[in-house]
Structure 1
Amino acid sequence: MSAADCPLPPRDGVHASCVVLPQEDWPSLLAYLRQRFAHVADSWQYKLAAGEVWDACGQPLAPTAPYRPGQRLWYFRSVDDEPVVPFDIDILYRDARLLVVDKPHFLACVPGGRHLRETVLTRLRRDPALAAASPIHRLDRETAGVMLFCLDPAARGAYQRLFEARAVYKCYEAIAPYRADLALPLQHRSRLQELPGGFVMREVAGEPNSDTLIELLQRRGDWAQYRLTPGSGKKHQLRAHLAALGIAIANDPWYPDFRNDKAAYDFSRPLALLARRIAFTDPIDGSERVFDSRRQLAWPDEASACA
């Protein structure tokens, strides 16, 4: 549902969420909401009693409200105990159409799951001048670096099509173990598939559906800095490729094996992966756009010394 359809103003950068009631028969609105959102079933009684669930006209609904198939409901999602990310977003560039940010590690791009207020999009939208910002692409929560947002809804589709057509140059930097027997540069191709149960990716037999150019930038003892240029855009592609080669990126909480939830929020050990550069020909005015991150990756021994 488009934010333009929402009858409610944002709250602290967070836009209201919408649910459309399916063509079903329920004894009451509350009964449906408790079943549909069973993981937070008890909260709906309180939301309705507090006037925190609204209809399409922005009128609050009562706990005794009837179930009306096809009705749109609006509400503000909440997340308990959301970890606060102690890093700032840096603005690299801004004009009437584009906003380019230097995303820090640990900050999710958009609200979802256990991330709501501690996301790049929510933080940006707290500024009324950036209320229309929408992401053109995304980075993993653990990854830092260059990320593009569109400020003009009419232009967003043109920029997104560039990514869909792979007409955008993207390169990353990573710090991972040094492997003397790995001949570089290497164009690594493989078939990536999400494991049953979700989230992590693994290489499997079959026709390759992903490729990454891996180049060595420098070496420091057992560690090396690599430039990674993806030719495809599979989920966790760079992390999965390096893990499959036996050089998993430093401080990765998911590859080669999941460590634990604490590792995913250990702010002293950021994933050593940075979206260094994005470049493309602007589809609106034909100008050449090149944006570079100003961030620097910490080598594992440096990160340990600062912890």
Structure 2
Amino acid sequence: MFLASRFTYQSRSNWRKILEEGKILVHGKPAKPSYSIKEGDEILYLPGESFEPPVQRDFKILFQDSRYIAVEKSGDIPIHSAGRYRKNNLTDLLEEDPRFEKIYTIHRLDRETSGVVVFGKDSEAASKLSDLFSKRKVNKTYISYVWGNFPTRLKAKGFLISDPSSLIRKKRRFVPEDFFRKLETPEEDLETSETTFRKIGEGTLHGVTFSKVYCFPKTGRLHQIRATLYSLGFPLLGDKIYGRDENTFIEFIEGKNPDLLSKLGMNRQALHSSSLKFIHPFTGIKTKIRSGLPKDFPE
């Protein structure tokens, strides 16, 4: 079904229900679930009243001055309004707080990635720090837990491309530089990617080995760490899209409530933004913001 594949914030069964309720119009008339979309069709969605999924709304202030605020987000809240999350997001939550006025987004983390997020208190501050991110002058450190016995050190330099073998439309895969020339990939469908990894521990979960790994992304691409680790054969614990079985994600969005702990080892992806280091754009002071390991990560 086109709607389910294009707009993944609703499951296939939910889209069918919405269609049966007459809330999808094609050329002004209610469409049936069996209708085949044609080029030039004008589609209108009438959602009516909707309810957002609950999120973990608490946050911790890690750093604050006259230009910036850094908070520690949980692994259960998006940073900005998207999909089903219109008001239940970190940006709106901060702006509702009487301690702050308008804030400006500088960088982003996935909804299930926890840790350090920095916001600007004015547009100039946001623009200057955003420029440091784009010029790769912000040192980022993540902690991840992955399935398998990870190498002591590993550098992954190459490209991120879409994954045509996956049933998930937004899934990507990492291709090392050495193998890129063997692929027939359009230039618009690739992005350079570079991440260094360092193993810092290991353990077992459900009788399976996992590794604790530092991740140092040099570039800042969508799903960079997750897609790279998956492509290297070390998927994140708890990752529904880049985990050991992508069918878990399909079951999840269809509302089948799979047992994530037994299938994936965690209820959310084991990726945490543990620190950011940069030269403060206004004071010139070396600034490091840290976030401790979340309680829901394995010991």
- Corresponding position of 2:18: none
RMSD in angstroms over aligned alpha carbons?
2.7
Name the structure 2 match of 1:191.
Answer: 159
Partner of residue 276, structure 1: 274
1:45-64, aligned counterparts within 5 Å?
none
* 1:87-102 map, 5 Å: 87-102=57-72
Structure-1 separation of matches of 2:97 and 2:290: 24
Q: Are the counterparts in 2 of residues 177 and 250 from structure 1 also a CA contact under 8 Å?
A: yes
Unaligned residue ranges in structure 1 (runs of 5+): 1-30, 44-78, 303-307
State which of 110, 115, 133 in structure 2 corresponds to 1:140: 110
Deviation at 1:183, TM superposition (A): 3.4
After TM superposition, give the deviation of residue 200 of structure 1 in Å.
Answer: 1.4
How far apart are 1:227 and its partner, in Å? 0.3
* Partner residue, 1:121: 91
> What CA distance in whole angstroms lies between the structure 1 residues aligned with 2:194 and 2:152?
15
| SS in structure 1 at match of 2:127 | helix
| Percentage identity across paired residues of the two chains | 26
CA distance in 1, matches of 2:277, 2:230: 27
Does the 8 Å contact 1:190/1:210 carry over to 2?
A: yes
Q: Is the 8 A contact 2:195 2:219 kept in 1?
A: yes
Structure 2 unaligned spans of 5+: 1-27, 29-40, 182-190
Query: Any conservation in 2 of the 1:105–1:143 contact (CA below 8 Å)?
Result: yes
Q: Partner of 1:39 in structure 2?
A: 45
Looking at both structures, which has the greater relative contact order when contacts are Cα pairs under 8 Å and sequence separation is at least 6? 2
Shift of 1:113: 1.6
Q: Distance in 2 between matches of 1:258 and 1:293?
A: 32
- Tell me, yes or no, if structure 1 residue 231 matches structure 2 residue 223: no
- Paired residues for 1:71-220 under 5 Å: 80-179=50-149, 182-195=150-163, 198-204=169-175, 205-206=179-180, 209-220=192-203
With over 3 angstroms needed to count, the CA separation of the structure-2 counterparts of 1:134 and 1:264, relative to structure 1, is: farther
Q: Deviations over 1:19-59 (max 9, x none)?
A: xxxxxxxxxxxx8xxx987122x75xxxxxxxxxxxxxxxx
SS of structure 2 residue aligned to 1:38 = strand
What secondary structure, in the 3-state scheme, does the structure 2 residue paired with 1:159 have?
A: helix
Q: Secondary structure at the match of 1:296?
A: coil
Deviation at 1:139, TM superposition (A): 0.4
CA distance in 2, matches of 1:37, 1:155: 40
- TM-score of the two chains, using structure 1 as the length reference: 0.68
Q: Which has the larger radius of gyration?
A: 1
Residues 276, 288 of structure 2: 8 Å contact kept: yes
Report the CA distance shift for 1:99/1:218 in structure 2 as closer, same or farther (over 3 A). same
TM-score by length of 2: 0.70
Shift of 1:86: 3.0
Deviating more after overlay: 226-235 vs 82-91 = 82-91
Pick closer, same or farther for the CA change 1:299–1:89 going to 2, 3 Å.
closer
Cα drift, residue 87 of structure 1: 4.6
Task: Give the Cα separation in 2 of the matches to 1:154 and 1:244.
Answer: 38
The aligned counterpart of 1:15 is none
Larger deviation, residues 267-276 vs 156-165: 267-276
Task: Give the match for residue 49 of structure 1.
Answer: none
Contact residue 56 and residue 77 of structure 2 kept, 8 A: no
Note closer, same or farther for the CA distance 1:269–1:242 as it changes in structure 2 (3 Å cut): same
Cα deviation 1:175-232 (Å, max 9, x = unaligned): 11232xx532110123211346742111345268111111111111311110000111
- With 214-223 and 86-95 compared, the bigger mean Cα shift is at 86-95
Distance 1:202 1:123 in 2: 33
> Structure 2: how far apart are the matches of 1:94 and 1:143?
21
Does 262-271 or 150-159 show the bigger shift?
A: 262-271
Residue 20 of structure 2 corresponds to none
2:288 counterpart residue number:
290
Maintained 8 Å contact 2:70/2:117 = yes
